[in-house]
Structure 1
């Protein structure tokens, strides 16, 4: 139960923060969220199954709500608070704004830090060596990259750079960053002064750890190598509606099948170099195994590529999906040998990396000899790991209960892909069943006013302690915003719909206002932009400049007293913050239905149909409804904001699913024109 001591501490913090917030207005929804979060963490509802789904509408102040409940609780129960987000923008908001404000005014003493993966940090020792020996990694570096290193080293030594890629002002190519980034073999624990290890010291000292969803999953899957064990953590997973998709991406695998012939020659040369450098006993055996296993893997993949090319599977398409994830018998028979071979090769590569590190530290082998080889082995480890993960997934037999999507792609090279249809079991097994407490929140957790869809996707369907709460937004939607569904001549599925958009959009645009026009397809956006520009309209169109550049220009135009019209696709319908006069007119041209053309979406639809379900109603409609709510959420960002949403798709009125989608939107005042 929630102790009186903890309850009083949370109340005191709440009162202190109220006094410091400018123009503070009481928010009943925020109070609800604080209370529910605290009670779930305290085990008030269930002694060990402490999980909550909380949908908090825009303007609730959910970040401060969960900080007010979870940080005091983490200190009280002597746990770490891990806050996981899906976007960099929210991470930056938490670390640079919300957490500093909370610490300053709450009266609590605690440390917090942003936790990143090892590969986001540079290795200072590598930078020093690269400056001393510019040709250390050969073609992987270019002169323009090398000129940056002395500046970075000086910034690090002066304490003006944290050693991470994200805080650099300079653009860095992936290939060059790989040369100087931290890795387990070349950056051992003895390098305690390096950026990565200093960041890990912060993890040990901090009460609050901010991570992204992908890092959280990677750490859980690897057995908590960076973050504390789940039973020692209170998790707040913000933007939780992204977690299933990010989970599928993490647990999927892909690998190239038609390896270039030069790779095998390169491996033979690498093996010879390793044999010449490694002084330890057993090195010769490992180098021989490295040669043999690479040759075996290469032979198996060449045979496989040749057999695939004989099937005529692709035709004029770039991909071929295996129906029900069932592989032909001849292909299924090859998966176990490939999985076994790539697994053994991965083990050998890791042992060679270890021997090279020992050669440098214990046998005093020169850096200039070991470093290029460690770099090359690191690249090979990544390639072999991809192969191993792919063939492990492909070797899992598929029965009538299909668990994967499997397909081949041919774009410049032949590759194979495997993706789990659901990650619910993995999420529950690694996270929810192990954690001290888990709070999952978002502005869009429900689908068509129900938590059922997200519960199923997250693996929370059978959790008896699960709490579900919807917290209404404090915004006066009916008074501050309207929803207009105009009369339209054509259906969005008709070819003539694009021409009608060109002709009708000017009726809903004002050259003195801030506009955002959202499209369901990039092609249609370009066509409409071309048509409107021919009529003299000035537009800012996604893809014609970077996202941030477009937003900066949009803000400059609005603040300068003129209007601005932003054109964007799905990526502009979430995570875009345009408060006040930056957005007063939001136009959604078409319901954001995903075209079920990707192999994964086809496989999902196939699996639902096989189970006797309706893929359109169970998969497509819920996903579209959530995207529509997210898109409408761009309009009102602060309580004083006002404006209008225009939806030019009358399927909301004419189709059976339309009414449920319409009712899931915020309660705008509605204006529906007769057709």
Structure 2
């Protein structure tokens, strides 16, 4: 490093020097020639009391700063430390302006240093990091930070982080650094000299990965028939494994179905060891029959857990004993051709520039090309969407998706998800003659996946963004780009007029929907609503007609004219294709308004940007049966889940899947002592949510969460049924600052995938994860990482949910009770899944806390409690529960 760097961190009384906030501690670390050469730190007397929450956060009290120098006393030394250096900080736009404000206050010259933000630098150099908070990225990179929120410790850790980023830069290949250097001038940080230095030093050539084609050694034993041989095998894989007779019976049932090519339904309660229970027989069957086994699960999180968990464990014990592939929908993968085109483009926003630079760094380390590995901002996601695969390209050998497909062709076990199985059946059909069995795990969610695939979702913001690409005003719009080509100007008149017409029609539709939405009432404290569109077809007819006409004009233009510029041509083709797809979606949406569940979601605080249009089929039978037909042809088909039955309605789930009536459900239950470490607490002094307004209820549950977290030391899931209530609860808890030392991870509020949030939760002590029903099932958090699950409300679908309303109407017309035969069993399934996250081994201890009073006041409450294993269930006050947990966890 040729430059000198001064790494700065401040602790302050608040966030704004303009409002009278002051520095209470400053830390500065100087770096010269790539080495830390000096440190400086000092408390600072702010001449005002330090707020209590700042004292709690920093552990700096008024006594610590009482006799400390004023900022004016150390200003000369601070200026000396910063002299001739590039100013570096973690979130530099806080520290730099704060010091500027203090200097201005005491009438000292302003700083003129160039700046580097280590948040930006770390996001670029470590694009797959779980989090970029200083306390979290340092843990991930192994950088010591023992006294967080102290300026001296934070400054030193930030200096180490800066050096780690600089070191990572020098490990990149020459072609990558060259491409990064071209774009680095658009960054907010002064990083160009570092890129130039790396460019000069780096002489290595870009290496290409070569896939192994070595023959596979099959070392895994044949299927173990006896209990003793099963136990011997499991003990080899999991030292200390305990014998579970129900697991052995489950394994035999799976193996029998595979060998006899039968269709079976197997319910394996949590504690059975379901996953390894079907993977081991599947591998044995694949090895013996030379037929592939497809294993499908509900989410990509579960898919990744299978691949990185059980399969990786087996391969570590039995190297090269089987081949496994992980095949997702191709939209998960990077399209290298589209990426190269984006790199060739010059008109980029900051977000696009940064995302492209992240992709360049990531390409040096990824082995999958799966874009979900990246941790990008919202603006960056738009760039990722532009470089996702939209179709197969078998002619490109290095394409990430095609590489995964080739692995699938050679694999014994193909891991996939329900969305892939149901949404791209042609992929597995191309491998059909090699497939001997299909295992559908989390089977109760297969219909949900089918429903989602057939559901149309049209976002106002995405639609508006799409339309904005066809303008003629801004140089990033394709109309403007085409108009610059002189020979096209006269040919674009009709397109230009039609584009204006489409925008006018869309604005009118937006105004009508906004007016209608504003007329609707919402409950106190809630701004979100869902409005049925079944009888409002007339609102959309003009829009559909005009968009189709615009697509036709572009098709005619592209047919008659060959665009000479490759970049412009690809841009036009890309956006016209997107508009054609959107036009088709709108047309189908309007055609089916009267027949299917159709609604718009909105938030009255942010109209019209919050509009999202939905349409879902009410009857999935034909679609489901068509999908399943090829899976039944000469193959074993195994439906399995921890919840395939509901008390009093054992066939509820299988009926939902339209499975043959002759199927019997085989149930496998955990040993009686498996749940000996679990207790259920029904809290009786939380207000009934139906009797108080939402804000009062949120205040009450926030108090329970805070008290429970403090005695449980985090390690806690808080499960909601409403994203709105989740967000308001988390925001209230953050405002109190009573859990400032805890890591709060909130679904829908924190960036990253479900898998990323789960890994963050497991990695950091004192973590609390707030999730909705989509987080309830199919995740494993073994050991001490999770000790408490707090259930805010029983997981019923909202009666105002438009799909539920129309489904309930359909059932009522058939003479059936929509609540007892649809709403209740669905809620019980979710309840069982929520409880199933708590105990994953007999040695674990955990509390399942229920805050919904209906569990004790309604007759159906007993049905929920009967659906989970027979563990101690106590009705207690908040105070008693907290006291009990404190004693229990500390024993």
TM-score tier, shorter chain, comes to: 0.7 to 0.9
Instruction: Indicate which of 386, 403, 418 corresponds to 1:213.
Output: 418
Contact 1:239/1:442, CA 8 A, preserved across alignment = yes
**Could you say if the C-alpha distance between residues 170 and 396 of structure 1 is closer, same or farther in structure 2, counting changes exceeding 3 Å?**
closer
In the aligned structure 2, how far is the partner of 1:40 from the partner of 1:294?
62
Instruction: Indicate which of 654, 659, 663 corresponds to 2:862.
Output: 659
Counterpart for residue 635 of structure 1: 838
Counterpart for residue 484 of structure 1: 681
**Could you say if the C-alpha distance between residues 475 and 452 of structure 1 is closer, same or farther in structure 2, counting changes exceeding 3 Å?**
same
1:523 and 2:725 aligned: yes
1:388 and 2:584 aligned: yes
1:95 Cα shift?
1.6
In the aligned structure 2, how far is the partner of 1:110 from the partner of 1:595?
46
Counterpart for residue 427 of structure 1: 624
**Could you say if the C-alpha distance between residues 541 and 385 of structure 1 is closer, same or farther in structure 2, counting changes exceeding 3 Å?**
same
Instruction: Work out the number of aligned pairs and report it.
Output: 620
- Residues 198-224 of structure 1: CA deviation (Å, up to 9, x unaligned): 22221221121112222222212xx33
- Residues 454-480 of structure 1: CA deviation (Å, up to 9, x unaligned): 2232222xx145342222124625632
DSSP-derived class of the 1:511 partner? helix
Instruction: Indicate which of 165, 170, 174 corresponds to 2:371.
Output: 165
In the aligned structure 1, how far is the partner of 2:306 from the partner of 2:453?
24
Counterpart for residue 636 of structure 2: 437
In the aligned structure 2, how far is the partner of 1:525 from the partner of 1:307?
30
Q: Which has the larger radius of gyration?
A: 2
Contact 2:419/2:449, CA 8 A, preserved across alignment = yes
**Could you say if the C-alpha distance between residues 150 and 393 of structure 1 is closer, same or farther in structure 2, counting changes exceeding 3 Å?**
closer
1:638 Cα shift?
1.4
1:65 Cα shift?
1.4
Counterpart for residue 144 of structure 1: 354
1:194 and 2:399 aligned: yes
- Residues 604-644 of structure 1: CA deviation (Å, up to 9, x unaligned): 33333343333333333223222222222232121211233
DSSP-derived class of the 1:476 partner? helix
Contact 2:470/2:499, CA 8 A, preserved across alignment = no
1:79 Cα shift?
3.5
Counterpart for residue 412 of structure 1: 609
In the aligned structure 2, how far is the partner of 1:148 from the partner of 1:262?
24
Counterpart for residue 257 of structure 2: 40
- Residues 373-422 of structure 1: CA deviation (Å, up to 9, x unaligned): 22432233233213313423542485xxx544355866338764321124
Stretch of structure 1 that moved more, 97-106 or 87-96: 97-106
- Residues 527-566 of structure 1: CA deviation (Å, up to 9, x unaligned): 59857986956655443766867975786546xxxxx766
| Unmatched tracts of structure 2, length 5 or more | 1-220, 521-527, 879-891
In the aligned structure 1, how far is the partner of 2:739 from the partner of 2:507?
52
Counterpart for residue 241 of structure 1: 444
Counterpart for residue 174 of structure 1: 381
Counterpart for residue 65 of structure 1: 277
In the aligned structure 1, how far is the partner of 2:784 from the partner of 2:643?
24
In the aligned structure 2, how far is the partner of 1:127 from the partner of 1:375?
12
**Could you say if the C-alpha distance between residues 179 and 68 of structure 1 is closer, same or farther in structure 2, counting changes exceeding 3 Å?**
same
Contact 1:82/1:234, CA 8 A, preserved across alignment = yes
Within 5 A, what are the aligned runs for 1:244-393? 244-255=447-458, 260=467, 263=470, 306=508, 313-317=516-520, 321-322=531-532, 325=534, 369-393=565-589
Computed over aligned residues only, the root mean square deviation of the Cα atoms, in angstroms, reads 4.7
Counterpart for residue 148 of structure 2: none
Counterpart for residue 11 of structure 1: 225
Contact 1:18/1:24, CA 8 A, preserved across alignment = yes
Counterpart for residue 204 of structure 1: 409
- Residues 93-119 of structure 1: CA deviation (Å, up to 9, x unaligned): 322232244356579843211113333
Instruction: Indicate which of 321, 331, 335 corresponds to 1:119.
Output: 331
In the aligned structure 1, how far is the partner of 2:733 from the partner of 2:385?
44
In the aligned structure 1, how far is the partner of 2:457 from the partner of 2:794?
32
DSSP-derived class of the 1:649 partner? coil
**Could you say if the C-alpha distance between residues 104 and 261 of structure 1 is closer, same or farther in structure 2, counting changes exceeding 3 Å?**
closer
Stretch of structure 1 that moved more, 504-513 or 22-31: 504-513
**Could you say if the C-alpha distance between residues 504 and 532 of structure 1 is closer, same or farther in structure 2, counting changes exceeding 3 Å?**
farther
Counterpart for residue 53 of structure 1: 265
DSSP-derived class of the 2:394 partner? coil
Counterpart for residue 88 of structure 1: 300
**Could you say if the C-alpha distance between residues 10 and 39 of structure 1 is closer, same or farther in structure 2, counting changes exceeding 3 Å?**
same
Contact 1:343/1:388, CA 8 A, preserved across alignment = no
In the aligned structure 2, how far is the partner of 1:576 from the partner of 1:333?
44
**Could you say if the C-alpha distance between residues 373 and 17 of structure 1 is closer, same or farther in structure 2, counting changes exceeding 3 Å?**
farther
Contact 1:268/1:291, CA 8 A, preserved across alignment = no
**Could you say if the C-alpha distance between residues 138 and 242 of structure 1 is closer, same or farther in structure 2, counting changes exceeding 3 Å?**
same
In the aligned structure 2, how far is the partner of 1:587 from the partner of 1:179?
40
**Could you say if the C-alpha distance between residues 513 and 190 of structure 1 is closer, same or farther in structure 2, counting changes exceeding 3 Å?**
closer
DSSP-derived class of the 1:24 partner? coil
**Could you say if the C-alpha distance between residues 18 and 578 of structure 1 is closer, same or farther in structure 2, counting changes exceeding 3 Å?**
closer
Within 5 A, what are the aligned runs for 1:216-235? 216-220=421-425, 223-224=426-427, 228-229=431-432, 232=435, 234-235=437-438
In the aligned structure 2, how far is the partner of 1:261 from the partner of 1:638?
54
1:663 Cα shift?
0.4
| Unmatched tracts of structure 1, length 5 or more | 1-6, 45-49, 278-286, 360-364, 559-563
DSSP-derived class of the 1:200 partner? helix
DSSP-derived class of the 2:264 partner? strand
**Could you say if the C-alpha distance between residues 593 and 127 of structure 1 is closer, same or farther in structure 2, counting changes exceeding 3 Å?**
closer
**Could you say if the C-alpha distance between residues 598 and 66 of structure 1 is closer, same or farther in structure 2, counting changes exceeding 3 Å?**
same
**Could you say if the C-alpha distance between residues 506 and 309 of structure 1 is closer, same or farther in structure 2, counting changes exceeding 3 Å?**
closer
In the aligned structure 1, how far is the partner of 2:509 from the partner of 2:485?
34
1:445 Cα shift?
2.8
In the aligned structure 2, how far is the partner of 1:224 from the partner of 1:457?
25
Counterpart for residue 604 of structure 1: 807
Contact 1:191/1:197, CA 8 A, preserved across alignment = yes
Q: Taking structure 1 as the reference length, what is the TM-score of the superposition?
A: 0.75
In the aligned structure 2, how far is the partner of 1:55 from the partner of 1:274?
65
1:664 Cα shift?
0.4
In the aligned structure 2, how far is the partner of 1:326 from the partner of 1:602?
14
